[in-house]
Amino acid sequence: MKRLLAAICLVALATMPAAAVETPLAFTTRDGNINLIASEGAAPEQIARGRYPDIAPDGKRMVYVSEDDKSLVVMDLASGNKTTLAGSETRIMAPSWSPSGDRVAFFRFDENYRKELLIVDTAGGTPRKTPLGNMDPVACAGWTPDGSSLMLHDIFHLYLVSPSEGVEAEAPLEAVTGAKDMSTSTDRFLPHPVNADPIAFTVSVPGTKEFEEMFNEYNQALFLYDTVTKERKRLTPEDMLATDIRWTRDGSAIYFSGYRTSEMSEQYPFRIYRLDMGTGEITEVCAGEEPAI
């Protein structure tokens, strides 16, 4: 397979009305709704209340966290039928389907408010806790293409974790980001879903003068890093905030939420964007956050 970075030619960078987007596409809004664009050209439809939606690899099911943050729910997108996959007395968050669709990884807070990583079979059963040692991960886990491991991180290190055995490897985040102390708890590091070499990530970097004056902090931008060539490339412009990144299943695009500097004073500025990895073109899809594709 040709390296992904060799195929990236960032020659066009624009925001325009949605043309073709991958579907089904789920996303959240600030009022606690989960919405779905079921097919190309369809209008968003509210289908549930909750957070952290994730679409199954077969495109037929969605997992999400209930409105009270204590149940992991699977919805059949055709019928709307819902099944509780796991429950908890404490908060749970950030479910992620395995590439084969037979498992879901998610986070649960323990009695000390530290995050635990659990794996549950989608056919049912008791969730299994993955040993993490002293790691306190940011609540984001991306599966490697073969489903054998997950990529986790805290604010200092990136980890490769076996669902049953725990940490297999680790590296300082600066090896990926290129600088120390750039990462925050909202950053994401996600391996490419087909080719294990590239990693998409967000990190805090200097933004426009207007952004830094309003928020008194750096902006969050989207980058791509190749673990073999050690190359990293910024994919979003200086005037755009990027968060909640999500690869498409074939790795041809990245969806994310964010907004441009010109929109940051709006009451609800967040939009869903699609970044085409072949052209670098950024397309605005709709208002919302936490895209799942």
Per-residue pLDDT tens digits for 221-277? 999 999 999 999 999 999 999 999 999 999 999 999 999 999 988 999 999 999 999
For the domain that residue 60 is a member of, what is the CATH number?
A: 2.120.10.30
Question: What are the two backbone dihedrals, phi and then psi, of residue 207, each rounded to the nearest 5 degrees?
Answer: -110, -160
CA distance 249 to 235: 19
Q: Which two tokens stand for residue 62?
A: 């969605």
CA distance 159 to 176: 12
Radius of gyration of the chain (CA): 18
CA distance 13 to 279: 8
Contact indicator for 262, 240 with CB cutoff of 8 Å: no
Q: Give me the pLDDT at residue 211, please.
A: 74
Q: Which two tokens stand for residue 111?
A: 């009695």
Domain range for 278: 4-292
Contact indicator for 107, 118 with CB cutoff of 8 Å: yes
Instruction: Give the mean pLDDT per block of 10 residues along the chain (293 residues).
Output: 30 39 96 96 96 97 97 98 96 97 96 93 95 90 95 94 96 92 86 93 86 76 96 95 96 96 92 97 97 97
Count up the domains in the chain and report the number.
1
CA distance 177 to 244: 17
Task: Give the CA count within 13 Å in the CB-facing half-sphere of 210.
Answer: 10
Q: Give me the pLDDT at residue 216, please.
A: 62
Q: Which amino acid is at 34?
A: I
